[in-house]
Amino acid sequence: MIKWLLVIGVVWFVYFYFIKKKPTQVKTQQNNKNKKENIEANDMIECVACGTYCEVDDMILGGSKYYCSQECLERG
């Protein structure tokens, strides 16, 4: 009986530590980072100050926030 329990324990150990793949935190962090950085040149983004939507190429980046004009940048 003890032999069978030992065999089952060894099989369980091999399965969980070598065969079963565990999700890593690095992959989830990379996926979250890719979602945030998938902004392309023709995407429309809302101005933080006035709420106007403009293309990314036309926006002004100030302090990690997008503004539609210099006035909104100074106001925001």
Boundaries of every domain in the chain: 2-75
The residue type of 75 is: R
pTM for the model: 0.49
The residue type of 44 is: M
For 64-74, the pLDDT digits (tens) are 888 999 999 88
pLDDT score, position 7:
93
For 17-27, the pLDDT digits (tens) are 877 766 555 55
Instruction: Please say if the pLDDT value at position 30 is more than 70.
Output: no
Q: What is the full DSSP assignment across the chain? A: -HHHHHHHHHHHHHIIIIISPPPPHHHHHHHHHHHHT---TT-EEE-TTT--EEEGGG-EEETTEEESSHHHHHH-
